[in-house]
Structure formats: C-alpha cells, structure tokens
Chain A
Amino acid sequence: MLRGLWKLTWLEIKIFMREPMGAIGSIVIPVVLFVVLGRAVGGGTPSSRSAAAGALMSTGLPVFAAIFIALSAVLSLVTIISIYREGGILKRLRATPLRPVTILTAHVVVKLLLTVVSLTLMVLAGKRYYPAGMNIPVVSVTIALLVTTWSILAIGFVIASVVPTARFAQPIGAVIFYPMVALSGLFFPIAALPAGLQAAARLMPLTYAVSLLRGIWQGETWLAHAGDVLALVIVFAVSVAVSSKVFRWE
C-alpha cells in the first residue's frame, strides 16, 4: 500500500534541497533568528539579566520557535501540495498505483525531518544562552515535538487536500493558523482571556500543543499532560480520516 513511499520521501528531500530558498529558508533563517534573539534577550552576565528575560529564555522562546517552525512546515506543505495539484503533477501520479496517503505521508515525513533538523540546530546553537543548571529533558521534549508536529501537519493535510491553487494556499493556511497561534496561550495566558475566547482557545488544537511543549520543557510529567496528548492524537486521527475522504487530485 505504501509502495514507493521511501523513494518518494528521499526524492522530495532532494528536490526540496534544490529549491533556491529551500534549505536556507526553512533551516538557516529560523536558527539564525533564534540565536540573534537569544543574544539580545539572554546575553550579558546572569546578574544583569532581568527575571523576565530569564523566563522568556527558559520557556517562551523555545516553545515559540518550535511552534513557529512547525507552522512554517505546515504552510510549506500546503503550498507544495497545491502547486502539485495545480501543475497536474498529482493528476499524473494518480494514473499510477500510487495512493494519496503515500504522497501525503512522504511530504509529512520530509517536513518532520526538516523540523527536527532545524530544532536540533537551534538547541545546539542556543545552548549557551539557557540559564545555567537548567535541566531540559531532551528525550521527552523530542517526543513532545514529534507528537505536536505530526498533529499540526495533519491539520495541514486537510487544507492541502482541498486547496485548489497555490495562490490560495498561503492565505487560507494563514487564516486558519494565525488565530490558533493568537489564542494558543503562547502570548497571553489563556486564563487571562475573556470567557468566550477561552472556550474558543480550548477548541484550538494548537492550545494543547503549546501546553504540552511548555510543560514538558519545564520538566513536568507526561501524566500531567495526558489530556494534551489525547487531544493532539484525536486531532491527528480526525484530520487523516477527513483528508483521505476529501483529497482532490485535480
């Protein structure tokens, strides 16, 4: 059923790296941005560092960066699939034994790999700016990132399955994801939102992603975030089911 998956994945990685902006846009720029921001906020001696800056370094920025990278991966996934649809590439692939789920899986794996690579580079590059002595549970954070990214990418599946042309892909993706980011608790604590918005926030998959990432980063247990994981798994399952129903080849 997944015949051709690994070949297609490898092919898409190579093709992506041949794009003029491919590697630079999705790996180098986020990492450089992170380092620059880290220097601006977290530089100097520990004594001169404000408490707010310390808090930002310890939780805000890493989680923000993780979400940002996952989202740009999703937008790029949506755009690529819509370009393939518009250009007749999907239609040509349809006339082979290839299944839609194979195409989507390959692209998701590519995006997941890119996300992991950029996040790893970011963590390595930004290491010296973290507060000394802080213990980051690397394995748990990695798993949390994978769960989160799979889930966010799955929402991208649904959009990518139906968006007719590349021109619509970016705006539609942005319209769906930016409100999610705004309400996710990344910028404002959810408890500080008006009741109506709090309810809306609880419907947004990203809210659970932020909560999970932040908690695990700070060393909280998985048990404390079982609800977040469950929500993300449900989002993933529903998204995959929906997109395999509505997937359009042309």
Chain B
Amino acid sequence: MIPLIQREVCDNKKWMKEQDILEIVAIAESTPGPIAINAATFVGFRTSGFLGAALATLGVVLPSFLIISLISLVLTEFQSVRAVQYAFMGIRAAVLALILKALWMMFKASKKNAFSYFIMAAVLVLTAFVKIDAVYVIIGCGLFGLLWSLLMRKEHSDDTA
C-alpha cells in the first residue's frame, strides 16, 4: 500500500515530499496499529490537520468495512453447506502456513541477541501455555526493555568514565 500512497500523495497531488513518506513508514512501523491506518492518519494530518486525518482514516477503513460486512452476511447464509465446510477445513491448514511465514518475517527483522531470544521465548510460554492476558505481557516487555536499556547505558558510561 505504501507505493500507492507515495504515487498519489507525492507525484499526483504534491502534498508531501518523497522523504516524508519514508519518515511515515518508519513511524507507522514502530507505533501500534495497522501500518495502512497509521500512514493514512499521518498523511491526512500533515496535509490538512485534524479533519484531514479523520477523513483520510475513515477513507482507508470504509472499503474494508463494507466488503467484510457483505462477506459476513453471505457467509452466515452458506455456513451449513457441506462443500463450504470442507473448503474451510482445507483453508485452515493454509492459514497455518501464512502464520508461519509471518513468524519467520518478524523473526528475521528482529535483533539476534540473547535479550531478544529471551523475550520471544518468555512471551510464547506466558501467552500460549500460562495463558496470561497478552496485554500485561507486552507491557511487561516494554518495561523490561526500558529498564534493560537504562542498565546498559549506565554500564556503558561507567566503562568510559
């Protein structure tokens, strides 16, 4: 979706510079929420303030919303058909492969050190087996990361002092 935004916003409408788009991608990836939504909000805000942000976000959400609502209605209608049930049995196995790919992509993009591996394993155990609400686990990880980076910096400044 990012190349699409770039073409519309930079080349066609000349609302922003190419460099701004890179900045937006960086922000969208390091803040919560879908990247597409974050990018739309940011472009909208930079271009015409709060109202722009609200309208751009609404614009990007509305098509998905309408399509999904429609599919939901159709799905309820056909749920009891045997062929549909068989189709979904097959599809579920394929979804597992999509999740595996997402896992691999995120793993590849993350830092490869003991601290990282420890958090990955701890989160997996706590959410999959101990079944703690993921929200608390993620807050814990954030605090742990903050504490860790403070300790590291202190150690580092002690070394140089």
Is A bound to B? no
Interface residues of B (CB under 8 A from A): none
